[in-house]
């Protein structure tokens, strides 16, 4: 008997990672049950529907360099359901829209002659006398490349809104990845020779694929196909306990409604639930130091206020970064630019994104107050005339960003080692599942590799699935300098714990 014929796998979560695992297992004839705590599939990649309007949490570009992931997307969703969308996003600052990535002529033109002269002066000063600690401090790293004035205009505010701490407290070592190849001199070269160098800039993907009803369309179809192939996807069912005996997981307990529990035997458990919650749900529990590591993981949370406005206030960008320090909104999505199928005739829907901490003053505001605040900010920015917002909806997303702080790597290692030794048939996958800043494609790839490990006994190290590795491999192939990251997922800043 093969492992596929012999075993039953419980999958925790019906997001991209969980459904990819279930799809791969079911396609190979293995018994699989997915338990999803929510009443909707897709996880962070779901499409939220309210009164017929569809919202995407953050805007999910379907872009990958992993051929297997691309092939699976094509297998799940018919070609007709995919749109090819142009990517456009600009920076909004003091009533002007700046190209992103920055282009020198556009930026200097928007600033006007006086501010442009000051910016160039400040840039030259920073070039002649760069901040001494630029290798250690992100603010200094940016100032060394752009000068103080451009740094304050184009980097400081948004970064602080996103991560919730001053840039001056952030280390520099991740920065070379996210904004690599960007400096004022590189920007000038780009402005003069527009197409030169652009392929080398990681943040540039000029077209991307997008399911016409939003990213959730992919996962709704994946769930249907899993069930068609004989797997089960059970909604409104949170896994609350993973039972362990003789050094392995043997069953999960699922809570369907408060007080209603069901114990389900399992030979393997693939988990995309947050790693901290996974360790907390194991019974008998891990020792205190492992639980302390679990409790020590940190997250950045997110909420979006989707406002319905007349079509005249639409813009061609998929999203706009809001750099004005006077408003709390960090980014504005225009869902109509993502797909005309997300919005209704004559109107568009703008998603005002706020980066928050679960439980903070924004998170706990009633929806009506958030809609009023978002409306006031949209009007203050001049992106809509007063009184033109028709209605609004609030979507809160806890744990949207697993945070990398100075302790996260050690914490993850402690949990990982304990699982490997005490519950080797429990497999963390995905983004929060592995506490890694993965996009959907790499979340999926961790699930694919895990299924191969289960069914074929391959010894893939799933923790090595690493987006930056590919960029580096590609760059090495073109002769550019490579930098090893090794197993940390997509590069993200280390956010020091205060
Ligand atoms: C603002 C933003 C923008 C993004 N943009 C992009 C993009 O453009 N392109 C891209 O590829 N990726 C993007 N991503 C990343 C993408 O959303 C994630 O990589 C992906 O959704 C992670 O998939 P996952 O299955 O690992 O986890 P999730 O999507 O978090 O799914 C986990 C699922 O597990 C369920 N669950 C949790 N606990 C339990 C439990 N105890 N029992 C049962 N179920 C449980 C949850 O309800 C959820 O449905 C973005 C993310 C954010 C926050």
- Model pLDDT for residues 407-454, shown as the tens digit of each residue: 999 999 999 999 999 999 999 999 999 999 899 999 999 999 999 999
Written as one string, the DSSP assignment of 170-187 is: SBSTTHHHHTTT--HHHH
Question: What single-letter DSSP state applies at residue 62?
Answer: B
Give the residue extent of every domain in the chain: 3-46+65-83+213-295+405-465, 89-204, 299-402
How is domain 299-402 classified at the architecture level of CATH? Alpha-Beta Complex (3.90)
Best mutation site among 11, 12, 15 for ligand 1, i.e. most ligand atoms within 8 A of its Cβ? 15
Q: Which of 448, 453, 402, 403 is nearest to 429 (CA)?
A: 448
At what angle are helices 16-27 and 67-76 packed, to 10 degrees?
80
Cα–Cα distance between 428 and 413 in angstroms, integer?
A: 12
- Give the atom of ligand 1 at the shortest distance from the alpha carbon of 443: 26
Question: Alpha carbon of 350 to those of 92, 185, 280, 304, 393: distances in Å?
Answer: 15, 34, 38, 10, 10
CB distance 356 to 323 below 8 Å: no
Tokens coding 491? 């590069």
Q: Which of 380, 424, 394 is nearest to 307 (CA)?
A: 394
Most confident of 18-27, 123-132, 465-474: 18-27
Report residue 472's pLDDT band, with 50, 70 and 90 as the boundaries: very low
- Distance (Å) from CA 120 to ligand 1 centroid: 42
Question: Alpha carbon of 4 to those of 25, 34, 365: distances in Å?
Answer: 8, 16, 49
Cα–Cα distance between 441 and 44 in angstroms, integer?
A: 13
Tokens coding 492? 């993200």
Q: Which CATH fold would you assign to the domain 3-46+65-83+213-295+405-465?
A: FAD/NAD(P)-binding domain (3.50.50)
Q: Which of 207, 286, 274, 203 is nearest to 244 (CA)?
A: 286
Best mutation site among 35, 41, 43 for ligand 1, i.e. most ligand atoms within 8 A of its Cβ? 43
Helix (H) or strand (E) holding 244: strand 238-245
Taking CB atoms and a 6 Å cutoff, what residues make up the pocket around ligand 1?
12-18, 35-38, 43-45, 57-61, 238-239, 272-273, 277, 302, 400-401, 430-433, 438-441, 443
Give the model confidence (pLDDT) of 128-167 as tens digits: 999 988 888 889 998 998 899 989 988 899 999 999 999 9
Q: Which residue has the tokens 């000063």?
A: 125
* Exposure b/e, 82-97, CB count within 10 A at least 16 = b: beebebbbbbbbeeee
- Distance (Å) from CA 438 to ligand 1 centroid: 9
Q: Which residue has the tokens 């779901």?
A: 46
Helix (H) or strand (E) holding 417: helix 408-422
Supply the pLDDT for residue 473.
Answer: 41
Q: Is the pLDDT of residue 266 over 80?
A: yes
Best mutation site among 13, 46, 254, 333 for ligand 1, i.e. most ligand atoms within 8 A of its Cβ? 13
Supply the pLDDT for residue 491.
Answer: 62
Q: Measured between alpha carbons, how far apart are the two ends of the chain, in Å?
A: 54
């Amino acid at each position: 008997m093969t492992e596929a014929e012999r075993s039953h796998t419980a999958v925790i979560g019906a997001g991209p990672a969980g459904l990819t695992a279930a799809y791969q297992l079911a396609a190979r004839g293995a018994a699989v049950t997915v338990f999803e705590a929510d009443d909707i599939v897709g996880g962070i990649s779901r499409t939220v529907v309210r009164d017929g309007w569809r919202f995407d949490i953050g805007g999910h570009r379907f872009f990958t360099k992993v051929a297997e992931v691309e092939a699976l997307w094509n297998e799940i969703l018919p070609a007709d359901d995919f749109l090819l969308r142009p990517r456009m996003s600009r920076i909004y600052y003091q009533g002007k829209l700046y190209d992103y990535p920055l282009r020198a002529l556009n930026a200097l033109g928007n600033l006007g002659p006086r501010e442009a002269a000051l910016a160039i002066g400040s840039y030259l000063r920073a070039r002649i006398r760069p901040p001494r600690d630029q290798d250690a401090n992100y603010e200094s790293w940016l100032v060394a490349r752009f000068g103080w004035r451009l740094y304050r205009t184009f980097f400081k505010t948004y970064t602080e809104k996103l991560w919730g701490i001053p840039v001056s407290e952030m280390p520099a070592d991740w920065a070379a990845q996210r904004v690599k190849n960007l400096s004022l001199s590189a920007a000038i070269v780009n402005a003069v020779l527009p197409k030169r160098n652009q392929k080398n800039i990681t943040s540039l993907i000029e077209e991307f694929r997008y399911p016409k009803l939003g990213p959730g369309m992919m996962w709704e179809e994946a769930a249907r196909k899993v069930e068609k192939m004989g797997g089960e996807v059970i909604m409104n069912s949170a896994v609350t306990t993973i039972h362990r005996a003789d050094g392995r997981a043997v069953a999960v307990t699922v809570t369907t409604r408060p007080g209603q529990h069901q114990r389900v035997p399992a030979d393997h458990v693939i988990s995309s639930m947050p790693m901290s919650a996974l360790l907390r749900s194991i019974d008998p529990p891990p020792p205190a130091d492992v639980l302390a590591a679990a409790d020590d993981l940190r997250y950045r949370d997110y909420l979006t206020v989707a406002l319905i406005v007349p079509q005249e206030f639409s813009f061609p960008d998929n999203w706009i970064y809001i750099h004005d320090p006077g408003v709390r909104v960090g980014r504005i999505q225009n869902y109509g630019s993502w797909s005309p199928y997300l919005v209704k005739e004559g109107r568009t829907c703008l998603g005002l994104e706020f980066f928050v901490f679960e439980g903070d003053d924004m998170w706990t505001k009633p929806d009506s107050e958030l809609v009023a605040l978002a409306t006031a900010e949209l009007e203050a920015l001049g992106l809509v005339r007063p009184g033109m917002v028709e209605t609004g909806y609030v979507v809160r997303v806890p744990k949207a960003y697993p945070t990398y702080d100075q302790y996260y790597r050690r914490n993850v290692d402690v949990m990982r080692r304990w699982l490997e030794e005490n519950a080797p048939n429990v497999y963390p996958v995905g983004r929060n599942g592995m506490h890694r800043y993965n996009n959907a494609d790499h979340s999926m790839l961790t699930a694919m590799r895990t299924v191969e490990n289960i069914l074929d006994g391959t010894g893939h190290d799933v923790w090595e699935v690493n987006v930056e590795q590919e960029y580096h491999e590609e760059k090495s192939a073109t002769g550019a300098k490579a930098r090893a990251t090794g197993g940390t997922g997509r590069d993200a800043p280390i956010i020091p714990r205060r």
